[in-house]
Structure 1
């Protein structure tokens, strides 16, 4: 935590988004990642990279894809990051989440986030490209009673096809099965990761009920999440957004080990040794992106939202601590 705080002060990243693999068992309407080839690192090469990340000051990692559970060695991957004091969050669609894998994750200080965008079977299949909702829900029912060291959550991407009652049904399912629940706005920028789809587009009036409900609920029981939802609302309304966090507090490591500022800019690479120097060279591209197509990818926004509100967080520290103890730490 001390090293993470030092990095924040120095505007050095504390979070890495690691594309474990680009292979995926879904064909989501909102994603282009699965269309690309995957050149996955083996465990030996990965450990060398993780050593460098740890020395650089990285303390958190999102293990995503593609679908990270396609990797048969996902538990070994988790252990490599833990060995070097980097806390993982596994982001999965849940199709391959067997009780055996879940049990191993539960034993470790590792967060788990499962993506479910609808409880309507037909809509789920349309959004995700596969008819696997029943399997995902059944997998959760088999594991939800496990004692766990990390935080487990269900996350929903809100699109133009989302309905308030459907989102509430996902929330109820999450609560009944001892999972936290969070929503995220549908996003596309350059089309490298997020894909534009006209059916998924929306205006503020289309999703206001959902985001206002989640923000008000978070204000009472998860103040940190409330600060993020407040920024979601600004973003969806089209209000001016501050410069994103890409390359400042977070960056991407591709499945082959390349370091990039954002999941939409994997064509720009840098070594950790020259990261801060190189950041100046591609800052203009990020700045232009932020002006013309501002986004709310987690890797480019959430840390900055919390850091900019650090004095408000300190002011509300007693309440936040109580909430983290009672409800868990989604972050």
Structure 2
């Protein structure tokens, strides 16, 4: 049963450029421009009209964008909940300018050991993550530690929790790795790894969307009965100011936005692609977290119920309901009621 009939999330790629070269990602290999504040301003207003509530400014490395604080300020002024993930290399330089602008700030950390984390990220950023944690907490920010879980580091969850999260009272987000395109991510996670994830997901101060575990045990998305609602729950905008469908990772077609995002999204060619979400051959077996999380949230099925307790847990830990209330006031009754 469909619970929400409009997109709730925008994955806004401010650039594909990155100052790291993670082994499980290929975005950094793509040439890329940067979005402009003028484009973002137009699109934010249309995203509001579409019903989107959360803007995930992503990349690449979003802090390579020299006007990132301006973009965040614009999104907050429109009432959006904002989220941003960084490898930490540039955060110490940005910290003061970003203060109070990011509702969900994530620092990527995949190992408690400097050599292993830096090898995974292809750049020496471990020390910068440590520095970033210290700066952010001193500024009164509440960053999360985003741990990309692979078969080779699942046994290190406890060390990251004890060394980095618990002393600083930070939430640990467990992000199970996923395969896509031709990127060598090391394959799926074993049943033993899934059980270890489940164990840690029940711990206080740790967030794991339990729907991710259920979906992996079921073999991922089925094109016969798709759980994926990527194109109808999430709006993907590229650095070239194009609407990407049905999702970034598949990226079958891109449409130039040209200041008309709302009308473009509602157009027949776009909606025809939206209708194919989860049903294309490449969608078989998909477990991509950034699309499954909103998919679980808008459609009532077993994954919705599996995800709900962990979603409520994170909301209480982070107080993100306050962002929803801020957005409600900014939207006003007319805008808020748009289907």
TM-score class, shorter-chain normalisation, is: 0.7 to 0.9
**2:220 matches 1:232:** no
Greater displacement, 58-67 / 278-287: 278-287
**2:16 matches 1:22:** yes
**2:284 matches 1:292:** yes
**2:256 matches 1:272:** no
Q: Return 5+ residue gaps in structure 2 as ranges.
A: 256-260, 324-339
Which residue does the alignment assign to 2:201? 215
Q: Return 5+ residue gaps in structure 1 as ranges.
A: 1-7
Alpha carbons of structure 1 residues 190 and 289: separation in structure 2 relative to 1, 3 Å: farther
Which residue does the alignment assign to 2:329? none
Higher relative contact order (CA 8 A, sep 6+): 2
Greater displacement, 172-181 / 202-211: 202-211
Deviation readout 1:7-29 (Å, 9 max, x if unpaired): x8552102100111111010000
Contact 1:13–1:57 (Cα < 8 Å) also in 2: yes
Find the residue that maps to 1:79 and give its secondary structure. Answer: helix
Deviation readout 1:198-217 (Å, 9 max, x if unpaired): xx224423513431212322
**2:139 matches 1:146:** yes
Which residue does the alignment assign to 1:93? 87
**Count of residue correspondences:** 306
Find the residue that maps to 2:127 and give its secondary structure. Answer: helix
Contact 1:235–1:296 (Cα < 8 Å) also in 2: no
Mapping of residues 153-302 of structure 1, within 5 Å: 153-164=144-155, 166-172=156-162, 173-191=164-182, 195-197=183-185, 200-217=186-203, 225=207, 228-229=209-210, 231-239=211-219, 241=221, 242-260=226-244, 261-270=246-255, 271-276=261-266, 277=268, 278-281=270-273, 283-284=275-276, 286-289=278-281, 292-298=284-290, 300-302=291-293
Contact 1:23–1:67 (Cα < 8 Å) also in 2: yes
TM-score, normalization by structure 2: 0.79
Alpha-carbon distance in 2 for matches of 1:289, 1:323: 34
